[in-house]
Every structure is written in structure tokens, then in C-alpha cells.
Amino acid sequence: MIPALELHDVAKSFGPVRALSGVSLTVQAGEVHCVLGENGAGKSTLCNLVNGGVSLERGTMTLYGEPYRPSRPTDALAAGVAMVHQHFSLVPTLTIAENLLLAAGARLRPRRRELHEGLARIEETYGLSVPLDELAGHVPVGVRQQAEIIKCLLRDPRLLLLDEPTAVLGPADVDALLATCRRIAEAGKAVVLVTHKLGEVTRAGDSATILRGGTVAGAGPLAGFGAEDLVELMVGRPMSDLDPLLVASVDESATSREAARITAEPVFRAQGLTLSRADGTLALDGVNLEIAPGEIVGVAGVEGNGQSELVTVLSGAVPPGSGSFLLGEHDLTFATPRGRTAAGLGIIPEDRHHEGCVPAMSIAENLFLPRLSEFARRGLLDRSALHEAAARVIEEHGIRATGPSARMSTLSGGNQQKVVVARELALDPLVCLVAAQPTRGLDIGAVDAVLGRIRSAAQAGAAVLVISSELSELLALCHRIVVAYRGRLLGPVPAAAPQARDEIGRLMVGAAA
Amino acid sequence: MSAFVELAEGGVRLAVPLLLASAGELVSERAGVLNLSVEGMMLTGAFAGAVGASMTGSPWAGVGFALAAGLLAALLQAVLSVTLRADQIVTGIAANALALGGTTYGARLFFTDGRSVPGFEPVLGPLTVLGCAGLAVVAAIGLLLSRRTGYGLAVDAAGADAVAADRTGLPVAAIRYGVVLLTGLTSALAGAQLALAEVHAFTDNLTAGVGYLAVVAVIAGRWRAWPTALACLFFGIAQALQFTAPLLGLHLPTAVLVMSPYLIALVAVSGLVGSSRAPAGLTVPFHRESR
């Protein structure tokens, strides 16, 4: 049988960075082939090579036995290769119907009837449908992804690539997506699923290729790998070397830990915080929370229950409608971000691209942006001192980059997050750390590093608030967990309690409210 | 009464070049290219039109000269802003300065011995044949590139999210080249309008900021077709008012009238009237091969 896609000894560099070298890979038609790897392992580059987004430097590709060398996405589409992009390819200001019409090429008169026939066929074969008249930018992310998949299927591709398709989805959407992948493969097409989440692979995949540092670390049918083998191949060190906390968060059955006894006076005090949305409903409806030095409190909950708003109020981006927020003896309710930093409040924001760093500036500048005055010499910036200090931080935090002057935007997501964490932890004194979704979109190695840093900050005496949608991670990391539900915090549930997971699950749907 | 008729006629006549230039500019900005060089392209078109008409004795040949010159000027802008990904605002200003210097020098060389420039005479109210043709071009652009056609959608996609458009398989660079060249043609036509249908001559800096007004009309119209057209008409009437105000018995300082388009644009962009709708990718060059 001729393989659907075959890559032989493929290489690609971006400037001095080797993204891929000597990668070979075989995908059969009718199977779901998983490409696994940490962030920065070369997964996205591999996708873009096959999709024509970047050009091949060395090696060969064949598609169903034919030599294949796309130089732009249009070539790939013409050859029957369609890709579901991680950040989507829908124009947000057009409706979904207009986006789907454009996928058939720009014509003077859009072929609406053909589109509706195609959509009916797709709904029949794969059970997928989307609201056509909504703006693509206004529908929930799960719907946007379905529209993206439909857009690909309308072209009737022979090979479908999905780049990190589950990174933005909730659990129910993930299940639906994986079922769709299986159905597409059963229809005789080849599906390549690129991901760093191991759970998905075992549920949906037939075979896998594991990438590490731009080379193939392992390949074969998935039946031949255990979950531990996959982690070891991805990370490149044995499971026993990893933080036990991390193992707990990969393994669903979290081990219960001895909870440290916290007796000190609370230093973080939020009382009756409220915040109204634009439509008049309450995003925060009286949030009360106290955290003692050295304590880690987690906020769990289904997204959209006020978690993001709580962070914006605590960070000073939006003033609360009422209530107060005290850190030690400082009243920070209406303080400026600078005032909050001076009081010892560190914030790791939810969206690191927009709120956490300046992508166009260097690592060194990003690291020391809040305290550049420390590097001033006679009013001018001492660049060499800045770079030396940054080089030390890069070394200490294991940030993978070409050097202190590398631009933030050239780093992988995990390494960008390490920079943000390093900057916030460098506050002196660090009285309180608020971390919002600190591990979102990160690979296992980076999760390990970031969680370890947060825990050592607590051990050094900081009060820590972690907002996360990864329950296993919260259970392994926190002392207490509260659950956000319709703008209130329910609980707390001690994380070490044997029934903690069930209890939190009930609170998440408001059962005990 | 006749003063009002004169005002309306003058307003329409002065609005035609504005409509032409801003029709091209609107399409260009929707596709993500801020073509600040409309002023320069208009001036180039006006000069080439006057030279062509004077040399051949035929105003239509002048229009042909103008279109060719506008296309060349637009090609320069397209290569700089799309292929070489230069800063669109800087290249636009540079192109305008170059056009002003070039045409002024050219006029010194060419229009020395009192050469006459044959032009168009009004046939339909205040409009010449060229004016009618200009309005037809504007209407055609409005129809063919509206959001109801696939071409219009493709233009919007290239300006709102060039990366998504590219991944969809749309030729982003070709679309952007196309809209810049289109702006070159419409701007040159607008310039020819001024030289051949209005003043029947070429004088230094003949356009005197009309091209900038076209850019302002697009902003004041919030990147939508009808409001932009209305803005052009209003600016045309405001200009005509400068000449007819005394006839109407109005004693407004001319400076206020000259200023009014810019004040309106400031109000429009400052967010006083709803949210701004500038295309997200405006002035952002597109480059595929990056991580």
C-alpha cells in the first residue's frame, strides 16, 4: 500500500535556529497519525512544511507516491492537503458563510448553492454543522474550530493536518473533535494530529511519531507505547527524574499529599469584590478570599465564571464596583499597577502575548522592564550590565533562546512563559503571587519548571493564588481549592482530602451552592 | 437662488475627483495598504494629462498619458509597500514629495512658451464627459468590489487578516498589488479631471491637498462605501462654498471652510461616533515565512 504522506530526511532552519533536522515520517491513508513533541520540538514547522507555509531546505516529501513540494498553501490545497490551524484561518470580520465561500476561491459571484450542497454532504457524512450567518470572530472557539474543519472538508482533501487542535477546547469539545477525526480517517483520508497532550493520542490515534529538539525520538503503532514511554521520549529523561507533582498532573489519579499546616495571619485579603459586565450582569458577585504567607490557594471552575475578571481586578486593569483588596497593610483596591508592584504583588497574566510581555522587545528588556532604573548609569541604560543580569536569569530558569538580546517573539510559548515567571518572581519582597492559567499551552518540560517555581515561591513565604482549568494540576499543587461559580467563590475544599476531586466537580456545576 | 445652484454644481464638480481618488483609496485600505501617495499619484496624473493633451492636441490622449503615469507611480508604491515591505506611511510621504518636486520641475521645462492645454467642456450640467466617465468608474468599483461579490470578500479578507487569507488560499500579495494599481488608475483619472476638466492647464501643486482629502474621506466614512461617498460630496461642497459664500451673503472665514474636512475626520477617528472600524491589517506588511 502506498503511504499517504512520506517525509524523508527533512531539514529546516530559521536563521541560526535548527527547527528540524533529519526527520522522516510515514502516514497511511485511513489512519490517525499523531505527531507528538514538546513546544519547540518542531511540530509546527513540520505542519507548515507539509502545508506549504515554509519551504523545504533539505530532504524529500511524497504524497500518495508522487513527489510533493508545495511552495505556498495554495499548492498544498491543490494537491489535496488541508490544514486546521492552531490559531485558525477564519477572517474574524466576515461571517462563517463568507469565510467558507472564500475557501472556494475569489469569484465575482460567490457560489452559494454549491456551498449549501457541500455543507449538506458534510453534515451527512461527518455530522458537522455550524451557524452560517454569525461573524467568525463572535462565535465560541469550539464552533470556530468546527467551521475551520468544515472549511477543510469542503475541499475534499486526501490528507488533513490538525495543528494543536485541542489547545483551546474544553473537555466536551475535545471529545467531539476526536470523534470527528476518527470519522474522517474511516472515510479513507489520512489524518495527522499534532499535539503535546498525551491523553488525546491514546484515545484517537493509530500510530505516532515523537519529535524532540527537531529530530525523531521514536515512531510506530501506538499500541507499542505506554504513556510513560511517550513522556520519556518527548521530554528526553526518565519519568523518575521528573517532579512528582508533574507526574501526578499527567496521571489522572492524583496522589494525595500531606497538607502543610498554615497558621500565620492572612496577608492577602479580598472582601466583597464585585464587577459588572457591560450588559449589567455581575461578573464578580462578592468575592471573599484570604491567603496566608506560604499558602497556595487554587481557583478551579468552568471558564467564564469570573476567573478572568478576578485577575483583571487584582492586577489593577479594571477597578472593582465595590469591595476591597488588601495586601498586608496596603490597601490596593484602587492602586495603580506600579503601586501594586511596589507592595509586592506579582501577576502572571492569563494571556502572555497581550498582557504578559512585549513580543517585539528582547528577553533582557522584558525581564527588567519594571526596574530598568536599576541599570541606569548617569541617566543612560547600562546595556552590558542588563545583558549580564539577563544571561544569569536565562541560565537559572533554563530558558531556551539564542541569548539575552533575542526577541521575545522568537521564543516558543513555554520559554516566553518562563521569562514572565522569572520577571514576576524577581520582585523583592514577593508578598503575593497571582498566577492565571500559568501552564496553558505549555509542554510537559515547561509545566514542570513553572509549577516548581511557583511552589518554591510559596516556600519562600509568598501567598500564592493559582487560577487554572487543569484540576489535576491544582490538586497536586494547592493547599486549598475554591471553585468559581457565577462570580462567587465556593468552598474551600482541602486539596489533600480523599474526595476532593468529586467535591470540586459538584461545586463546579453549582450543586452545593 | 442662482447662488445655491452654483454651490450645488460646484460641489458636485469638485466632488468627482475626490470620489475617484477615495474609491481607489477605500479599496486599497480595505485590503490593508494605506496608500498615502494618492496625492502624489493625482499630481502625476494631472501633469501627465496636461502634457499629453498639450503635445497631441487631444484631451483623450491626455487621459491615456495620465493613466499610464498613474500606473507607474502606483507600481513604485506597490513594489515598496508589498514586495519590499517598507513602511507605508513613510513611502507615501516620500512619493508625494517626489511627485511635487518632479512635476514642478517638469512644468518649468515643458510649459515655458505659453502652451495651451486642450480640455473637456461641460456636457451634463456641470459635468464633462470625463466627469461622467469618472462617476461610472466609481459606480463600477462600488458594485464589483462590494461585500456581496467574491472579489470584495477577498479584498476584505486580505486587509482584516492576511495570514488567514493566505492560509485560505487567497493570493494576498497579488490582491494588494491589484488594489494599489487600481488606486493609481483612479487617482490619475482624478488628477486628469482637475487638469483637463477644471483648470485646462497645469500649475505648480495643482492638486493642493485633494489627495489627502480623499484619504480623510475614507477615514471619516469609516471604511464604508456610502459614508465615504457622502464625505466626498460634503468636502466638495465645503470647497465650493469658499467661492460662493460671498454670493450667498455668508461671511465665514475661508479658513474655517478649508479646515472643516479635517475637523470632521478628527471627530470620526476619535471614536466620538461609535467604534472605529479600521481594517485590522492596515499598514501591516504580510510575510509568510515566519514562525
Q: Rounded CA gap, B141 and B20, in Å?
A: 10
Domain that holds residue B48: 3-269
Q: Rounded CA gap, A463 and A454, in Å?
A: 10
β-bridge mates for residue A207, sequence order: A33, A221
Mean pLDDT for the stretch of residues B225-248 = 86
| Per-residue model confidence (pLDDT) at position A252 | 39
B147 touching chain A per CB within 8 A = yes
**Quick check: A89 and B163 CB within 8 A?**
yes
Answer whether residue A140 shows pLDDT above 80: no
Domain that holds residue A303: 242-344+427-513
**Quick check: A14 and B168 CB within 8 A?**
no
Considering the domain architecture, whether residues A330 and A312 belong to the same structural domain is answered as yes
More confident of the two residues B70 and B1: B70
Q: pLDDT tens digits for A247-303? A: 554 443 333 344 445 567 888 988 888 888 766 678 888 889 999 888 999 998 777
Helical segments of A85-217, H only: 96-103, 112-126, 141-153, 171-186, 198-204
Q: Which three cell numbers stand for residue A311?
A: 485577575
| Per-residue model confidence (pLDDT) at position A256 | 37
- Is the residue at B62 inside a domain? yes
- Percent of chain B at pLDDT > 90 equals 56
Residue B2: other Cβ atoms inside 10 A = 8
Q: pLDDT tens digits for A26-63? A: 999 999 999 988 767 888 889 989 988 888 888 999 99
**Quick check: A106 and B167 CB within 8 A?**
no
Residue of A nearest to B170 (CA): A105
Residues of chain A in contact with residue B147, where contact means CB-CB under 8 angstroms, are 98
Q: Rounded CA gap, A507 and A493, in Å?
A: 10
Binding-face residues of B in 115-144 toward A, CB within 8 A: 144
Name which of A17-21, B14-18, B58-62 the model is least confident about: A17-21
| Per-residue model confidence (pLDDT) at position A513 | 44
What is the CATH classification number for the domain harbouring B52? 1.10.3470
pLDDT band at residue B245, thresholds of 50, 70 and 90?
A: confident
- Is the residue at B50 inside a domain? yes
**Quick check: B170 and A90 CB within 8 A?**
no
- Is the residue at B14 inside a domain? yes
- Is the residue at B278 inside a domain? no
- Is the residue at A275 inside a domain? yes
Residues of chain A in contact with residue B280, where contact means CB-CB under 8 angstroms, are 92-93
More confident of the two residues A427 and B149: B149
- Is the residue at A353 inside a domain? no
Q: Rounded CA gap, B275 and B240, in Å?
A: 31
Domain total of chain B: 1
| Per-residue model confidence (pLDDT) at position A259 | 43
Mean pLDDT for the stretch of residues B55-83 = 94
Considering the domain architecture, whether residues A440 and A483 belong to the same structural domain is answered as yes
Residue of A nearest to B281 (CA): A91
- Is the residue at A350 inside a domain? no
Task: Give the pTM.
Answer: 0.74
Considering the domain architecture, whether residues A259 and A372 belong to the same structural domain is answered as no
B165 touching chain A per CB within 8 A = yes
Considering the domain architecture, whether residues A104 and A39 belong to the same structural domain is answered as yes
Calculate the dihedral angle through the C-alpha atoms of A61, A66, A71, A73, rounding to the nearest 10 degrees.
-100
Mutation pick from A44, A91, A114, A148 vs chain B, by most beta carbons of B within 10 Å, is A91
Mean pLDDT for the stretch of residues A121-127 = 89
pLDDT band at residue A510, thresholds of 50, 70 and 90?
A: low
Identify the helix (H) or strand (E) that includes residue A221.
strand A215-221
* SS3 letters across A425-452: HCCCCCCEEEEECCCCCCCHHHHHHHHH
- Is the residue at B125 inside a domain? yes
> What is the spatial order of strands in the sheet that A159-163 belongs to?
A81-84, A159-163, A190-195, A32-36, A207-212, A215-221
Considering the domain architecture, whether residues A54 and A159 belong to the same structural domain is answered as yes
Q: pLDDT tens digits for B108-154? A: 998 887 788 888 888 888 889 999 999 999 999 999 999 889 999 99
Burial of B201 (0-12, 13-18, 19+ CB in 10 A): middle
Considering the domain architecture, whether residues A48 and A133 belong to the same structural domain is answered as yes
Looking at the complex, report in whole angstroms how far the Cα of residue A365 sits from the nearest Cα belonging to chain B: 21
| Per-residue model confidence (pLDDT) at position A429 | 81
Residues of chain A in contact with residue B157, where contact means CB-CB under 8 angstroms, are 91, 94, 99, 102
B161 touching chain A per CB within 8 A = yes
Residue of B nearest to A152 (CA): B168
A492 preceded by a cis bond (ω within 30 of 0): yes
Burial of A359 (0-12, 13-18, 19+ CB in 10 A): middle
What is the CATH classification number for the domain harbouring A323? 3.40.50.300
Considering the domain architecture, whether residues A55 and A201 belong to the same structural domain is answered as yes
- Is the residue at B280 inside a domain? no
Considering the domain architecture, whether residues A274 and A230 belong to the same structural domain is answered as no
The residue out of A241, A264, A293 marking a domain boundary is A241
B156 touching chain A per CB within 8 A = yes
A165 preceded by a cis bond (ω within 30 of 0): no
Cβ(A501)–Cβ(A295) under 8 Å?
Answer: no
| Per-residue model confidence (pLDDT) at position A63 | 93
Arithmetic mean of pLDDT over chain A: 83
B58 touching chain A per CB within 8 A = no
Answer whether residue A318 shows pLDDT above 70: yes
Considering the domain architecture, whether residues A261 and A230 belong to the same structural domain is answered as no
- Is the residue at B27 inside a domain? yes
pLDDT band at residue B36, thresholds of 50, 70 and 90?
A: very high
**Amino acid in position A449:** A
Answer whether residue A83 shows pLDDT above 60: yes
| Per-residue model confidence (pLDDT) at position A244 | 53
Answer whether residue A246 shows pLDDT above 60: no
Instruction: Tell me how many residue pairs between chain A and chain B have CB atoms under 8 A apart.
Output: 87
Domain total of chain A: 3
Considering the domain architecture, whether residues A200 and A251 belong to the same structural domain is answered as no
Mean pLDDT for the stretch of residues A407-419 = 83
Considering the domain architecture, whether residues A322 and A451 belong to the same structural domain is answered as yes
pLDDT band at residue A171, thresholds of 50, 70 and 90?
A: low
Answer whether residue B262 shows pLDDT above 80: no
- Is the residue at B283 inside a domain? no
- Percent of chain A at pLDDT > 90 equals 19
Q: How far apart are the first and last CA of chain B?
A: 66
Cβ(A416)–Cβ(A423) under 8 Å?
Answer: no
* SS3 assignment, position A159: strand
**Quick check: B150 and A107 CB within 8 A?**
yes
Q: pLDDT tens digits for A205-242? A: 899 999 988 889 888 888 888 777 887 888 776 666 65
- For residue B98, the number of C-alpha atoms closer than 13 Å in the C-beta half-sphere is 13
Looking at the complex, report in whole angstroms how far the Cα of residue A420 sits from the nearest Cα belonging to chain B: 20
Mean pLDDT for the stretch of residues A400-429 = 84
Considering the domain architecture, whether residues A393 and A432 belong to the same structural domain is answered as no
* SS3 assignment, position A183: helix
| Per-residue model confidence (pLDDT) at position A263 | 62
